[in-house]
Amino acid sequence: MKNKHITKQSFSQETIKRLSLYLRNLKRLRERQIYVISSDKITSFLDATPEQFRKDLSYFGEFGKRGVGYNVERLIKEIENILGVNREWKIIIVGAGSLGSALLGFVGFSKFNIKITHAFDNDKRKVGKVRNGVKIYNITKIKSIIKDNDIKLAIISTPLEAAQNIADILVKSGIKGILNFAPVVLKVNKSVSVSNVDMTSELESLIFFAKG
Amino acid sequence: MKNKHITKQSFSQETIKRLSLYLRNLKRLRERQIYVISSDKITSFLDATPEQFRKDLSYFGEFGKRGVGYNVERLIKEIENILGVNREWKIIIVGAGSLGSALLGFVGFSKFNIKITHAFDNDKRKVGKVRNGVKIYNITKIKSIIKDNDIKLAIISTPLEAAQNIADILVKSGIKGILNFAPVVLKVNKSVSVSNVDMTSELESLIFFAKG
């Protein structure tokens, strides 16, 4: 980072999510063989202005030339480096029910360098099975597998009641980032980052606004 | 609604999502055969206080008795009625790629009275196939199918480039609520509600905060 007094915790999740969106737009531009770009092209399609883009990047260094624009390839590499997505990340899925199974079948993760390495469940009928190339382990093995494989990321797709207990185990085992699909606010210490995706409440709020 | 001057558009999505969460907790209580409950039990597990709960409900009427608490069954019925989830809703999926296919395989929708009735794609190899009981139609049929079946809800799981064009078609065809998985800010008129789920930027932000 440009300023050594800035730590990762200084950034909001919103800033970092915007970097992720800029990165995706830059990759689209690269696919179209566009090599140099202005900041307003990078923010097109996004809910961000060129000014916001320049401000977000300024925390990390100087990447563009005034009046010339940004080198697409270099900026992709820089943002990948900032985000940490320039290497493969292992992720585990806890809860192999209907949602967990759907996620195991979602091949999109590999596109952005994330590999689902293990799944876990407490249902003995599921343990030992392989779904889309991922083996389902007994939940009792979770601590040792996380530690032995140096895994930092986890998806929680358990029922509501189990989620906090699972989160506690994950944090104790060294997990640093949790994507939570259970409809509960997880309590974790500040060194762990949680993103919540609650499809039910998203859908129920759409129904409320959609009904006649 | 209690006050006739309040329209649906007066409510924030956040308020409505909280109603959805209260409803889920109430259903859990019912499963445990709990018939009367205080507001602090309803908000346990949630990022909401009993005061918030009472305030959210007060827009819609008086449902509890001071010192007695809430009748669980009655409150479930009332919130289901407020949200509009007391009847079945049809939803279509546009884009039957890896994410769309995973969603077709997600049986969880049926739990909350939402039925995926049709899927759409522009890939002729997919058109005509049936996945998890849902037929994939040519995207060119979308307008007539939405109108003929009086469908109000849609999921967009297309690539980024196609999403805005699809949203325009959906809105013109009468769709009122869109769950958008494409990483783009959709421009729709105010009578249409959009919820965004962007798993890539959620995961990339987790990686940023998780890296050593």
The per-residue pLDDT for range B64-107, each reduced to its tens digit, is 777 788 999 999 999 999 999 999 999 999 999 888 888 887 76
Determine the distance in angstroms separating the CA of B7 from the nearest CA of chain A, rounded to an integer.
10
pLDDT tens readout for residues B172-187 = 999 999 999 987 889 9
Q: Of B152, B198, B206, which is closest to A210 when you measure between CB atoms?
A: B152
Q: Residues 172..201 of A with a Cβ closer than 8 Å to B: which? A: 176-179, 183-185, 193, 195, 197-201
| SS percent in chain A: helix, strand, coil, step 5 | 45, 20, 35
pLDDT tens readout for residues A125-148 = 999 999 889 999 999 999 999 999
Task: Give the pair of three-digit tokens for residue B24.
Answer: 């889920």
* Residue A5 confidence class, pLDDT cut points 50, 70, 90: low
* Interchain contact B1–A (C-beta under 8 A): no
Number of neighbours of residue A176 by Cβ within 10 angstroms: 20
Angle between helices A50-58 and A13-31 (to 10 degrees): 110
User: Comparing C-alpha atoms, which of B109, B192, B101, B89 is closest to residue B149?
Assistant: B89
* Interchain contact B82–A (C-beta under 8 A): yes
Cβ–Cβ of A204/B83 closer than 8 Å?
A: yes
d(CA A183, CA A196): 8
* Interchain contact B81–A (C-beta under 8 A): no
Average pLDDT over residues A39-54: 84
Q: What is the pLDDT of residue A14?
A: 85
E-assigned strand segments in chain B:
36-37, 64-65, 69-71, 89-94, 114-121, 130-131, 134-138, 153-156, 177-180, 193-196
More confident call, B98 vs B37: B37
Lowest-pLDDT range of A129-143, A182-196, B39-53: B39-53
Runs of H (alpha helix) within chain A: 13-31, 39-42, 50-58, 72-83, 98-104, 108-111, 142-148, 160-173, 199-210
d(CA A9, CA A17): 14
ipTM over 0.90: no
Dihedral sign, Cα of residue B144, residue B148, residue B149, residue B150? positive
d(CA A202, CA B83): 12
Determine the distance in angstroms separating the CA of B141 from the nearest CA of chain A, rounded to an integer.
22
